[in-house]
Structure 1
């Protein structure tokens, strides 16, 4: 078999394997790929592992925060939804999983080359988002690149006349999922059940249960659905956007103006005050990007962007606090208000969710953000063809502050009993609490951050004959200051990159960075980070010249070192904190002393990431795009505590040492098919990525049994007890804590319905030495997506399904999952609990009003597989016919409907598998909009 047949056979095999993924990549081989620091390279010539999300793909999402427009867009990018205030539900992002130990795995985000917060942008400003995944792409960032880099490029003007676009979108949103709490009768019945199983008397009589169930005596036996009383079904958002893009002669411009305003899910029909306590968010974004040709060889770029935003909420009820109380207050705790108008409350629950929303005043936040940068580019071809130099400076500033007008309210707690004979009330009690106060004004600064950059770059880009070189040398200095002590960072980076292509088919790249910062000692603050890469464009070989199906087939490989600065400053210096008091003088005056609180370590180093990547890119049959990458990373010099390796006799608390090691490895596979048949066009794409890590060294304390060791498992691996079902009646004597000779040390008395556990070490004791690795951790190891799109004569749709697996969650939120104890509430989740009648089918332990340390602890009873598949977005649109559009003096017009976060297939069911907790829920939204262009 000759080499041509071998290559063809390999190609067929690869094609059959790769058709299960999606490529979010280039439109054509000649498309330029952003490699950072302003360097670009043709897609068919790059040897780096990258991924791209274009403006067209991002615009399919309605996203207040652009991070929420990245679900399922780029292989290797994990995007996790968060709860919290509806305007702040930005996603967490990870590139190729997690490779360190302290949850500082967020990638470096650069907007137009400068580190900035992606959440402060709008989707309409963004031209594309590129992620850099391997050492050949990220080593140039030195001590900032080990977690990967996200490059955000904003739109710029084009020399093609003015293009004006306006759009308006109206969104209604509702809670994606919320648990259902039991009503007053259900809560009281559950409490009686719990007390009986603990061998205690009922708390509620039959007459009192009937009063809850039938609504008699509502002031003394209330039944309040706090969720329905406090929350409305939907919130809304108005989003206006306009852009002006164009250019003429030597000037090009892009201007974007966005205004957004919306309300949350709180009801306010009980608020008789003149102020609003609704969860409101509004913002205005303005961006101006200018390109001015000062001469034929001199280009000036000016980028200015600003955002003004503000929020409104109840005076003392933050979102997290409010929802914790909504879930935690039983329906029978007290009425909303008594007949005299005083709010209900109690010593056990000294707050009233309705009053928290309406009677604690209001709080308004203000945030101001400014981004500004100027770049001057000078073509030096007069000296040497292909040579140019540029200099950039930037200054960013962000400040936030709060205006609070808060007040308190009074409450009353009334109780009574019901006579069993005549069913009348008696034994009345009344307890007052709180105080009605006037509005009290105060203001506070939430925070401030300043960031300044200076970059000088020398570029060389030339092609002669079969040779092509593009090279970059640079100096980058930046200073970042935020509120607080030791929060000023100074960084310097000297870097160079050279990419070479021979005859469009043999590729090579070399990158080097020498970077440092002020965090470490002078001896260790600068480190060297090299990387090399190779590529082979097989489709350019003569033996494939006759294979029309192969438009591009490229193999690439890279290896190198990348760094990551530590997140704690000055570990090389001694640290002191408050010590004991000392006394002096005749009057025994006192002053506080100081003591050494951390030993200095002059040998702390930045994290070091050794990376290897092998990849394949292909374009086949004119419409199929494929790529695949396999990667390996060893992250070393990770900060870990020395406490486990030094004696306490020294008398000084342990410091941190650079001894941690984590391995991270995985692969990414992607494919996209696009085609057009007459007026009908369609696309089908998919992607699949996996990243698995393992702790190699973390200076772990000695453990008596090997299965207790965290080393050798994944980062943040959950450890807990392995359950063996539940005790049934007759299996325990309800006097001691011993079962079949095994002592249960977390409780003094075992009862039917308690959890059985596996004695892992055979010592006849269930204790902390019986925990083992259970399930997975919180960060999915596997991410996948499916994209669908079609259009016919202007009418079309697009959909993005995104999912994750190899991820676990511990259902331990009080009231929602762990009921009753410590005066918690109870939800319908507990319907699967153990009772004598459900002993054979129960999946949860018995109820108890006590903090049962045996039942309520990390174990397989409470752990769930948190895998999911979500329909992230669905858009249906129609481009109005050109003949109709032109009659109203427009160039284009589009109407559309969008739905976001529409459904999820998972095992959690009562809450969003990505956000488990008593917080403002994640949202489903339904949008309608209009976009027109002039």
Structure 2
């Protein structure tokens, strides 16, 4: 702890010391977090416009102001708490939004809140049409900070805080596991695996090395908290000719693991971001932006149990599967019989004697384990380097015609990452125990593997990504006769992303035109269109036009509203759009027929000959075309009672049409076979989805005495429907058409079988295995006296792209220099399935606490879990409402108290301004299922984060 504090102080001083100079700053008025006042400029497609001139479907967060009262570490952290329409992982429930950082497609996690000025959420189709195909599901536009016309200003921010684990999984100890595993075998008609004496010895705890009871979540292996520290420095200033901004930041974060090499795990990040804005002459201006980010992540090595399962094993995956009685990780040397010179000689030859008193335990089955890995298998380091550069020129062409300008933007980003490691092999030892005069003694060791350290550094896992982007566009803005305001954009835009390991680049190319008109800034009309291109489609079908039309009416400017005692402003906007996109076209060449060759024909001309067959996997369809987003939206914005209340709400209906499928019911069944796998059926545009909903953002601002109060409420509610599906079901209740897109389908349960008579007198359940008392009983939906896949029904919504109802609330109270801020978020109306290894326990899986509520003859009246089994459990462990639960929750996401030191206290110091703050994040989850929602069983635990920070301006 002391070392952490010392490093934090020294590191803060390292950044602060070079900037101990006296610099004057220009005071600025603080604005609202949600930009609503003084008609500020908001970034939308290719331009910034006054907020009052936005034609709907756009929300914006002033992150620079928000960070003054809410420090956080991720650019999009809990944004649903400030604006409506964002579910936390999608805009208007559509998924896969496009992130643009300063107009370039970039990752949101590679720009920190301290580097950001503003974030625009472009939700409606009309707001994103100019960005082309890849933006069809919405855009989140992150604008980084830039230099300002002001004297030199230096801001330093330093934070240190601790992640505290919320909860850990509760797995049963060895004795309980062994007892219940015997019960499971008895349920299956098998003999016991463990004797009563064995179970007693494991339960007694007298010798945990001979009778291990490994708890992966004990303080022997995990810390109760770990540190995160960061420091950032901003340098900015400039004049009318040149402005500059620089951000230098560093953070380092520890790990919850606390043993072996893993105790030194860490992740760190160093970033250097800078930009310059230049006025080259009266009609040409330029900008140059650059960013370099250096990530490192150091960790102990873990052996991959199965290189073919697609899962990289680590401590948490081992913790979820390794039974507590399998192996003792460390065994004391003191247990070895002093007369057993052979064993002593064997183990003393090991280079992995831990702490001078323990050797690595193992068995013939467990010749490696994660504990031994983290002590002896070496370390690895993941390294990532990201370099971003963009530049732009702006030409004022008023000399050609008044109001005309031309803008260019060119960017090159490059990112590379790789792993370096020292991979060691190690020996483990299986002891042979015996009891001598009542004491356990090791009288022999069996060695598996050898201790080997090559000393060679291995390099692997190399990846590289490159983005090249260019846009050039004309803008035109002019007012005629004081009342007629005309604007236009004509653009060409494109980018390509090259990703290592992927043959085709991710591309977006389009030209666009937008023409706008407003009369007296009261009546608005806007037409926009983009012609897009995609190589995913066949020649002749690779281009399409996406049109959009928007209308706006500032009702508050009408004469009949002039004397309103309620409304300060009232605006209604309507838009209709059709966007073409290739986002839902997963691969290239889906329009082509696909053939493969294989050795050995399924149907040969004669026996005994080795033949090669040509198999059709897919038919061709060169008429395949873009997927369409057809949308109508309406937005209402209002300010009431002298800005006491401001409202921004949107209603939307969008239909995604022409999703690609292989239509099995349209083509005759002889066009395909399941075995061998062969098909002549092509992909076609067929499936349609619909989303209907509304979002809202309401802000209350009030001054009570000397206290400024503000309350923000935001949210989105939407429904989804599969409006067209290729299906030919025998029963109406199994049609996906008309049901939610994100539906959970499964069986309807009717409790647990209580007796063999009940099993015998119920419909036959045909899911494998013998159904017995204690198994789940299902409802026969079609009355055929058989339970099978024909009885699967629609259960509930899963909320894949966000819960049906997402809510956010933020509250600020400011008194003099003291600011209190609180943020809450909520998700309601979605369901999930307990279909993970923690809840579905069968075979030889590890037993969690959920099995304590299992069915037995003695507990059948109260049991909430099926009988235990060592078989596959194929009847019980399948999707059904028995395993379903609500994910409704309200999160107290953030509380922060900030104190701005008074000028009287710092006026004779080096500081112009100084703030200190304390905060807590992810503090509380209110839900009936809070224990489950806060639980992680195959990854690191969820944490609460407590932070203290300081910001100073020089």
**Pair in the same fold by TM > 0.5:** yes
How far apart are 1:301 and its partner, in Å?
0.9
How far apart are 1:291 and its partner, in Å?
0.5
Measured in 1, the distance between the counterparts of 2:479 and 2:508 equals 34
> Which residue, out of 704, 716, 720, partners 2:746?
720
Matched, 1:322 2:322: no
Measured in 1, the distance between the counterparts of 2:234 and 2:440 equals 69
> Which residue, out of 62, 72, 77, partners 1:54?
62
> Which residue, out of 917, 921, 941, partners 1:900?
921
2:881 corresponds to: 860
1:931 corresponds to: 951
1:304 corresponds to: 290
Deviates more, 1:842-851 or 1:123-132: 842-851
Measured in 2, the distance between the counterparts of 1:546 and 1:281 equals 60
Deviates more, 1:402-411 or 1:803-812: 402-411
- Residue aligned with 2:280, SS: strand
Measured in 1, the distance between the counterparts of 2:278 and 2:631 equals 41
How far apart are 1:61 and its partner, in Å?
5.0
Given the superposition, is the C-alpha separation of residues 350 and 327 from structure 1 closer, same or farther in structure 2, using an over 3 Å criterion? farther
> Which residue, out of 905, 908, 911, partners 1:890?
911
Measured in 2, the distance between the counterparts of 1:174 and 1:348 equals 36
1:411 corresponds to: 428
How far apart are 1:832 and its partner, in Å?
2.6
Measured in 2, the distance between the counterparts of 1:320 and 1:131 equals 37
- Residue aligned with 1:326, SS: helix
Measured in 1, the distance between the counterparts of 2:435 and 2:872 equals 30
Measured in 2, the distance between the counterparts of 1:328 and 1:776 equals 30
Matched, 1:380 2:397: yes
1:34 corresponds to: 43
- What are structure 1's unaligned runs of at least 5 residues? 1-22, 80-92, 99-104, 583-587, 733-737
2:640 corresponds to: 620
Measured in 2, the distance between the counterparts of 1:235 and 1:487 equals 42
Matched, 1:766 2:787: yes
- Residue aligned with 1:137, SS: helix
CA contact (8 A) 1:673 1:684 kept: yes
- Residue aligned with 1:383, SS: coil
Given the superposition, is the C-alpha separation of residues 654 and 339 from structure 1 closer, same or farther in structure 2, using an over 3 Å criterion? farther
Measured in 1, the distance between the counterparts of 2:785 and 2:679 equals 38
1:818 corresponds to: 840
Measured in 1, the distance between the counterparts of 2:34 and 2:241 equals 32
How far apart are 1:855 and its partner, in Å?
1.2
1:87 corresponds to: none
> Which residue, out of 442, 459, 465, partners 2:475?
459
CA contact (8 A) 1:25 1:52 kept: yes
Matched, 1:580 2:599: yes
How far apart are 1:360 and its partner, in Å?
1.8
How far apart are 1:910 and its partner, in Å?
3.2
Map 1:221-620; keep pairs closer than 5 Å: 221-228=211-218, 229-268=220-259, 270-271=260-261, 278-316=264-302, 321-340=314-333, 341-346=358-363, 351-413=368-430, 433-439=448-454, 441-464=457-480, 465-565=482-582, 566-577=585-596, 579-580=598-599, 597-620=617-640
CA contact (8 A) 1:640 1:698 kept: no
How far apart are 1:391 and its partner, in Å?
1.6
Map 1:596-745; keep pairs closer than 5 Å: 597-621=617-641, 622-646=643-667, 647-649=669-671, 651-652=678-679, 654-700=681-727, 702-729=728-755, 731=757, 738-745=759-766
Measured in 2, the distance between the counterparts of 1:50 and 1:347 equals 62
How far apart are 1:577 and its partner, in Å?
4.6
Measured in 1, the distance between the counterparts of 2:644 and 2:246 equals 34
How far apart are 1:354 and its partner, in Å?
1.4
CA contact (8 A) 2:687 2:725 kept: yes
- Residue aligned with 2:143, SS: strand
Measured in 2, the distance between the counterparts of 1:425 and 1:890 equals 68
- Residue aligned with 1:230, SS: coil
CA contact (8 A) 1:337 1:343 kept: yes
1:83 corresponds to: none
CA contact (8 A) 1:179 1:910 kept: no
2:346 corresponds to: none
How far apart are 1:574 and its partner, in Å?
4.2
- Residue aligned with 1:127, SS: strand
Write the deviation string for residues 827-850 of structure 1: whole angstroms up to 9, x where unpaired: 223333223333222222122222
1:8 corresponds to: none
Measured in 2, the distance between the counterparts of 1:766 and 1:916 equals 34
CA contact (8 A) 1:315 1:362 kept: yes
- Residue aligned with 2:503, SS: coil
Measured in 1, the distance between the counterparts of 2:491 and 2:690 equals 31
1:66 corresponds to: 75
Measured in 2, the distance between the counterparts of 1:726 and 1:919 equals 32
Measured in 1, the distance between the counterparts of 2:508 and 2:665 equals 32
> Which residue, out of 125, 148, 157, partners 2:138?
148
- What are structure 2's unaligned runs of at least 5 residues? 1-31, 305-311, 334-357, 602-607, 673-677
Write the deviation string for residues 433-490 of structure 1: whole angstroms up to 9, x where unpaired: 4443324532124321111112111011122311212221111122221123432244
Write the deviation string for residues 364-405 of structure 1: whole angstroms up to 9, x where unpaired: 111111111111101111222211111221111111111122
How far apart are 1:803 and its partner, in Å?
0.9
Measured in 1, the distance between the counterparts of 2:289 and 2:647 equals 35
RMSD: 2.8
1:96 corresponds to: 92
2:118 corresponds to: 128
- Residue aligned with 1:752, SS: coil
1:11 corresponds to: none
CA contact (8 A) 2:774 2:866 kept: yes
Given the superposition, is the C-alpha separation of residues 194 and 590 from structure 1 closer, same or farther in structure 2, using an over 3 Å criterion? closer
- Residue aligned with 1:67, SS: coil
How far apart are 1:412 and its partner, in Å?
4.1
How far apart are 1:520 and its partner, in Å?
1.8
Deviates more, 1:181-190 or 1:554-563: 181-190
Measured in 1, the distance between the counterparts of 2:546 and 2:671 equals 39
Given the superposition, is the C-alpha separation of residues 676 and 717 from structure 1 closer, same or farther in structure 2, using an over 3 Å criterion? same
TM-score by length of 1: 0.88
Matched, 1:803 2:819: no
- Residue aligned with 2:880, SS: coil
TM-score by length of 2: 0.87
CA contact (8 A) 1:719 1:858 kept: yes
2:348 corresponds to: none
How far apart are 1:699 and its partner, in Å?
2.4
Measured in 2, the distance between the counterparts of 1:418 and 1:635 equals 73
Write the deviation string for residues 54-95 of structure 1: whole angstroms up to 9, x where unpaired: 11225655544323352422211111xxxxxxxxxxxxx200
Measured in 1, the distance between the counterparts of 2:855 and 2:433 equals 32
Given the superposition, is the C-alpha separation of residues 248 and 42 from structure 1 closer, same or farther in structure 2, using an over 3 Å criterion? closer
CA contact (8 A) 1:316 1:356 kept: yes
Measured in 2, the distance between the counterparts of 1:61 and 1:399 equals 32
2:872 corresponds to: 851
How far apart are 1:234 and its partner, in Å?
1.4
CA contact (8 A) 2:378 2:424 kept: yes
Measured in 2, the distance between the counterparts of 1:674 and 1:521 equals 55
CA contact (8 A) 1:873 1:901 kept: yes
How far apart are 1:335 and its partner, in Å?
1.2
